[in-house]
Structure 1
Amino acid sequence: MLAKPIYEVVPYVYFFLGVSCITLAKDSVPTLIGIILFLMGANVWRMRSEARRTDHSSQRIKQTKSHYYYEFKPFILFISAFTLIQWTQNEIISIISVLLCIASLVILIMRVLNRHSLSLLH
């Protein structure tokens, strides 16, 4: 069993390592490793978020899309946009990628607030 401070940091270490691999080496193998590391962190974050939800299951909106697509969408948007920023020199693509990064962060913030809204009100 990991100590709580180490346990809580694990997904963020994966995120940092993934983004670092993409940023530091502009080659396809380190980029692929970075994407895999980032998505591993996303999976750990997703599992913890599901386990720690405080909203009641009857209040949740029934999803018509795939559950995993819904859960990983902001992470996929972010890492795709970040990779495009690193790999392209086109200003328009970079601007669109930055907007996608911001959109993915907004989605994550909304989910965190929604999943823990009842505990914040009490």
Structure 2
Amino acid sequence: MKLAKPIYESLPYIYFFMSGYLLSLDNSLVLIFSAALFYTAGCVTLVTRSSHRRLDKQIESIKHAIPELIYEYKPYVFGAIAIFTLMLTKNAYIQFAAFTLGVVALRILLFRHNNRCRPKALF
């Protein structure tokens, strides 16, 4: 089955939208689990696409400080923690910390997108 390009390209964001929509309906366990599945599907789709579309291919022999799987999903985990913390707490200090964690996750994603969409420069 082949999807039209606009639908195919926006599919992970549709997953994220569905996750947010399900979380906004109610706090039942079934809806939270469904939202987590949609969020995970969006994350896996974006990470897989990013690894296939990279212009700055990594050398396989380079050792990272943390495993690559953890490295790739770190901003998505930060974002999920930030969203759930903002939803579940009323404390202003904890909400500020969660908001800051969300901004860090967004920063990591933007820097990765910027670095991966260009070929490696000589300087």
Question: In 2, distance between residues paired with 1:28 and 1:93?
Answer: 23
Are positions 1:39 and 2:24 aligned together? no
Q: What is the match of residue 106 of structure 1?
A: 107
Question: In 2, distance between residues paired with 1:95 and 1:28?
Answer: 26
More helix by share: 1
> TM-score, with normalisation over the residues of structure 1?
0.88
The answer to which of 69-78 and 26-35 deviates more is 26-35
Query: Which structure 1 residue ranges, 4+ long, deviate > 3 Å from structure 2?
Result: none
The answer to which of 37-46 and 85-94 deviates more is 85-94
Structure 1, unmatched stretches of 5+, are none
Aligned length in residues: 120
Are positions 1:27 and 2:28 aligned together? yes
CA-CA distance at 1:27 after TM superposition: 2.5
Question: In 2, distance between residues paired with 1:56 and 1:68?
Answer: 16
CA-CA distance at 1:61 after TM superposition: 5.8
- Aligned-residue sequence identity (percent) comes to 31
The answer to which of 49-58 and 37-46 deviates more is 49-58
Partner secondary structure for residue 64 of structure 1: coil
Deviation digits for residues 70-93 of structure 1, max 9, x if unmatched?
Answer: 111100110111011111111111
> TM-score, with normalisation over the residues of structure 2?
0.87
